[in-house]
Amino acid sequence: MAYTFPLGPYHPALEEPFKVNVRCNGEIIESANIEVGFSFRGIELLAQSRNWIEVVTLIERVCGICSNTHTATFCTAAESIAGIEIPRRAAMIRVIMAELERLHSHLLWAGIGAEDIGFHSLFMEVFTLRERVMDMLEAISGNRVNYGMNCIGGVLRDIPDPEAHLPVLDAMEAVLARTVVPVFTRDATVLARTRGVGMLSLEQAVEWAVVGPVARASGRDIDVRKDEPYLTYAELGFKSVCRPEGDVQARIVVRALEMLESLRLLRQALRALPAGPLRASEGLPVIPVGEATARTEAPRGEAFYYVASEGGAGPARVKIRTPSFVNIPAIEAMLVGQSLANLSIIQASVDPCISCTDR
């Protein structure tokens, strides 16, 4: 017997409010439809009524999990319009903050994924690691969420003793390599719940235009840090992580190995932090008439910003395309032919950020 089952918009399996309507025949999903827009905030329109400094603060509120990515991408676009080249020390600090944020985001997802599977002890292990990352972010920026690090022309805060953070990274890597990664990649319960589930082939990944870990887990090796290197990623020798299987298990493996790569990048960046100023200039930024785009690799994939200036105190237009905006629709393809019981873990495997999508 065919019937329709709604998941959301408010449900314990969802991190944020969005709705998945599935049509089932018995326990098998025949089709799916995604609905978003339950927490729309109009940030793009609000940005047009703020000055350049206020917009940075506003943009940081697009998402609490990847707030640093949003401000870094917006500032890069504004710097491109003004022809501003940020100091190398500032560029390296932006990389450090970006990779700490990626660690935080992937650990948050891993904890929620463990909870969806029913692996409560693993959830606690992962969230203990997440606290270590947030403590490190707080030690550098003074904040656990919305770090206030980026400004047009550089960064606002320094890392005076980079070597002091290395022992924390070493301790985290030991736990990840010894416990978290092996459990997610070899545990029989995890494999039973994730292997062959929520398939998205390479052809479907291209068709649905997915980005980030979702694309790389389907064999599509795209990453802005590699394809269009920015900041200091080229000199740090960034290596992307890619898997061909295209199932929930592959998405888990990609994010797990990306955490280890982020730790390597962080250790290298902290040791190679160059001397020099934090900002290209002091005072209010002057952005002339012009327009620019900027791309960065957010934890969930490519973040794209378009910024236009008419030479005024603030931007004339800010357009944001977040990775979740293009990844979430692909859930519809992943669900077809799957068991209804797997709906929760399949949607979670995309790591959907509704805050970014409903900006």
What pLDDT is recorded for position 127? 87
The 10s digit of each residue's pLDDT in 124-135 is: 888 888 999 999
Dihedral sign of CA atoms 204, 207, 208, 214 in order: positive
pLDDT at 224: 93
pLDDT tens profile 86-116:
999 999 999 999 999 999 999 988 888 787 7
pLDDT at 200: 94
Give SS3 for 24: strand
Residue 296: burial class (beta carbons within 10 Å; 0-12, 13-18, 19+): buried
Distance CA 80, CA 75 (A): 8
Q: What are the structural domains, with CATH classification, of the chain?
A: 2-357 (1.10.645.10)
Q: Residue with structure tokens 């606290």?
A: 131
Residue with tokens 């032919």: 337
H or E element, residue 32: strand 28-35
Q: Which two tokens stand for residue 40?
A: 């729309």
277 sits in which H/E element: none
- The Cα 158–Cα 266 span in angstroms is 15
Is the CB of residue 288 less than 8 Å from the CB of residue 82?
yes
d(CA 70, CA 279): 18
Q: Token digits for 309?
A: 């200036």
Do the Cβ atoms of 243 and 254 come closer than 8 Å? Answer: yes
- Token pair in block for residue 105: 């985001």
Q: Which helix (H) or strand (E) holds 200?
A: none
What is residue 181's predicted lDDT score, i.e. its pLDDT? Answer: 85
What is the C-alpha to C-alpha distance for residues 176 and 284, in angstroms, rounded to an integer? 43
pLDDT value, residue 13: 63
Q: Could you give the CA distance from residue 78 to residue 50 in angstroms, rounded to a whole number? A: 14
- Enclosing H/E stretch for 52: helix 52-59
Contacts for 226-235 with beta carbons within 8 Å, 24 or more apart?
Answer: 228/295, 230/76, 230/295, 230/296, 231/91, 231/92, 231/94, 231/95, 231/98, 232/88, 232/91, 232/92, 232/95, 232/269, 233/95, 233/265, 235/272
With a cut of 70, which residues of the chain have pLDDT below it?
1, 11-15
Q: Which residues contact 139 (CB under 8 A, 6 or more apart)?
A: 165
User: How far is 305 from 22, CA to CA, in rounded Å?
Assistant: 33
